[in-house]
Chain A
Amino acid sequence: MSGDGLLVAVDSPVHRIPAQVKLVALFVFVLAVVSTPAAIFWAFGLYAAMLVAAVVVAKLPAPVVSRRLAVETPFIVFALLLPFVATGPRIDVLGLHLSQSGVLGAWNVLAKGTLGVIAAILLSATTAPRDLLAGLERLRLPATLVAILSFMVRYLSVVSDDLHRMRVARESRGYTGGRAGHLKAVAGGVGALFVRSFERGERVHLAMRSRGYTGRMPLLSVEGATRSQWLEGLTISLAAVAIAVAARVVAL
């Protein structure tokens, strides 16, 4: 886990949009996509075109985006199974006897999933973790949740280093074990890791109290977004809403 999370550190107009705007934009966009009827294919084409344009404007390398799409794999497997297991009228595609509603369902999962994942990749690759936290704070997410997330961002690398050291220590002492043996060792390691992390949590709390912590985290202090920034950031999302409404009307 690198320190800057998923951020692709280049300067682009998308990178410069305040995080809270991008968060709202992502949320609205995904809602619009999800509420579009699956059979209105042109709507999804438009969504995809807008996303590709945004990726290009954000100067994200295509290989990075496609690699990160791998998180979607389980859904793809599920979507590809659908045409075979769904019931209802059948159609023949390339010699395969498939369920018609299954094919549409698979398309629905694939298209909406992929669009949502690409939009999320766009957000995570153009926003530093700290800005994301500041944005969430700005959007009035409860301070406790922001604090928990911020500790996660900070200590993920510390904990994964701990885990790595424990593995090295295990293997240095000749531990091989089969697949099952490894799993067992990792399970034991996770227990030890939990205790370590818990103790670290106590020490961090001491350090926080030493510096006057009384239960309220100070704000991460970001300036609000201007009206034009909101407009710029929400362009795609608002267009997506318009498309979704149009698609709904067409489908009636």
Chain B
Amino acid sequence: MSGPAIQVEQLVFAYPDGRQALFGVDFTVEPGERVALLGPNGAGKTTLVLHLNGILGSVAGGTGSGRIRIGGTGVHREHLTAIRRKVGLVFQDPDDQLFMPTVRDDIAFGPANLGLRGSELDDRVQEALVQVGMQDHADLAPHHLSFGQRRRVAVATVLAMRPEVLVLDEPSSNLDPAARRELADILAGLDVTLLMITHDLPYALQLCERSLLMDGGRIVADGKTRDLLGDAGLLAAHRLELPYGFNPLSVPGPERS
């Protein structure tokens, strides 16, 4: 596909109850980029990513304007199936994402909706399981897994659709340090465009070269993650804080030479 992986222009949106969440959002993400979406609670981050696959916005019947293009395809009603295949959304709570009786059924849900059947479907499921290292747990029920495992399966359910853009909503929240690191290893090894909402600033620095900082329904900063995290004044102005003792200038990041 030609064009940027994600192109958002002048995106404005208000919820049906009148609360406006987005006040003109513009940004572009090139294919293969890994971008963190930072910002305080209520900044509109989740609202924004729900626009990327047409769950919210004028396509879904809400009040809003603006233009979104994914890999050159506009988010329009007639393209929704294609858009939802291209944009894989991983929700914050894996219990929301895993709704089928077993892990295998759940991972098969997306590809089956794309029309895959039989051995093709099985291969796709197996491939996604291997990508997140959960191939030994395929026949378990989701509630028998640990939280970290459920988060990984949630990522696999989306990977099984072979998305061009992977969008994660707070992937590291509620994970213990080992599970957080395992997920980082998995995400770092994926060959997709990545957009990741997070409050975990070290995680953003570890995985994403570039960051967008969002506040009050607008993008207020866009640049190298290291530069953004190094700007104490900017962070303080938007209710972001680095963990105690963390110096963004002294740790290695994902920068490729």
Contact = CB atoms under 8 A, between A and B. Distances in A.
A212 B114 contact: yes
Contacts of B98: 154
B113 A210 contact: no
A210 to B, nearest CB: 4
Contacts of B144: 3
B127 interface: no
Contacts of B87: 210
A207 B84 CA distance: 11
Interface string A199-219: 010011011111111100011
B91 A206 contact: yes
B72 interface: no
A195 interface: no
A210 B143 contact: no
Contacts of A211: 84, 109-110, 113, 157-158, 161
Contacts of B242: none
A150 B99 CA distance: 8
Contact of B105 (A206, A213, A220): A220
Contacts, number: 79
Nearest to B56: A206
Given A153-B101, A211-B161, A218 B109 contact: yes
Contacts of A133: 101
B105 A210 contact: no
Contacts of A150: 100-101
A212 B95 contact: no
B179 interface: no
A39 B142 CA distance: 49
A218 B97 contact: no
B55 A158 contact: no
B105 A130 contact: yes
B14 interface: no
A185 B158 CA distance: 40
A22 B55 CA distance: 41
A204 B53 CA distance: 15
B78 interface: no
Interface in A112-169: 129-130, 133, 150-151, 153-155, 157-158
Interface string B94-108: 011111111001001
30 contacts: A130-B101, A130-B102, A130-B141, A133-B101, A150-B101, A153-B101, A154-B141, A154-B143, A155-B95, A155-B99, A157-B143, A158-B95, A200-B95, A200-B96, A203-B91, A204-B97, A204-B99, A206-B50, A206-B55, A206-B96, A210-B55, A211-B84, A211-B109, A211-B158, A212-B113, A212-B114, A212-B161, A214-B113, A218-B108, A220-B101
Interface of A: 3-4, 129-130, 133, 150-151, 153-155, 157-158, 200, 203-204, 206-214, 218-220
Given A203-B93, A211-B161, A220-B101, 18 more contacts: A3-B141, A3-B143, A129-B101, A150-B100, A150-B101, A154-B98, A154-B100, A154-B141, A204-B97, A206-B91, A206-B96, A207-B89, A207-B96, A208-B99, A209-B84, A210-B53, A219-B112, A220-B105
